[in-house]
Chain A
Amino acid sequence: EAQVTQNPRYLITVTGKKLTVTCSQNMNHEYMSWYRQDPGLGLRQIYYSMNVEVTDKGDVPEGYKVSRKEKRNFPLILESPSPNQTSLYFCASSLASGANVLTFGAGSRLTVL
């Protein structure tokens, strides 16, 4: 089944404790992206990647890191989480760019205390 898988689905952590949210797709998509969803603010793009070893900042990259060492994986790293990073995070992928249909993962709800 074609899908985007992200883990963990739920996580409660404390300020400053590094964490990684993994994202993997099995559709051979070139484009992968991370979004955070907050009430009233829609989906805001954190980082995206056009291909292996190519990553770019989105609208809200502060406090996040990403890497794209393999085509299928695009992990989101929070080096020192803070409470304002409490949010619902979605990974998504598409065939070639942001102008193609996005397939979203199921979401990861992160709480930083």
Chain B
Amino acid sequence: GENVEQHPSTLSVQEGDSAVIKCTYSDSASNYFPWYKQELGKRPQLIIDIRSNVGEKKDQRIAVTLNKTAKHFSLHITETQPEDSAVYFCAAFDPNAGNMLTFGGGTRLMVKP
């Protein structure tokens, strides 16, 4: 099945700086890559997703890039704010491995004011 690795596990940045979280996946057939944000004590919520026919997608301060050749995708957050502090999960969907979404281990992002 699919295997997703996420780095770093923790990331601390100063308010206003950029943050980048990287994920790699194992199966080249994977075609959907969402990112979820989980604030402390809350449920995960989708913040952005990308499908394999697109290389980059932006939504205000967040963007996701996908490199299918290298089998990795990244989340970029610019002009970070304290409310960006949370755990972020990447995931990959492999249509050849049942109907499962495989998550990475998560990144705890801390934005220091």
Contacts and interface: CB of A to CB of B under 8 A. Distances in A.
* A and B: interacting chains: yes
Interface stretch (A20-28, A65-73, A74-82, A102-110): A102-110
B36 to A, nearest CB: 8
A110 to B, nearest CB: 16
Nearest to B1: A59
B6 A42 contact: yes
Interface in A42-67: 42-45, 48, 50, 56, 58-59
Contacts of B100: 45, 48, 58-59, 98
B98 A104 contact: no
Interface of B: 1, 4, 6, 9, 31-32, 34, 36, 42-46, 49, 89, 91, 93, 95, 98-106
A3 B36 CA distance: 17
Interface of A: 31, 33, 35, 40-45, 48, 50, 56, 58-59, 90, 97-99, 101-102, 104-107
Given A48-B99, A56-B98, A97-B99, A42 B104 contact: yes
B105 A102 contact: no
Given A41-B105, A106-B43, 7 more contacts: A33-B101, A35-B103, A42-B4, A42-B6, A42-B104, A42-B105, A104-B43
Contacts of A107: 43
Nearest to B104: A42
Given A99-B31, A101-B46, A45 B9 contact: no
21 contacts: A31-B99, A40-B105, A40-B106, A41-B105, A42-B4, A42-B89, A42-B106, A43-B91, A44-B103, A45-B100, A50-B99, A59-B102, A90-B43, A97-B93, A98-B100, A99-B93, A99-B95, A99-B101, A101-B49, A102-B44, A102-B101
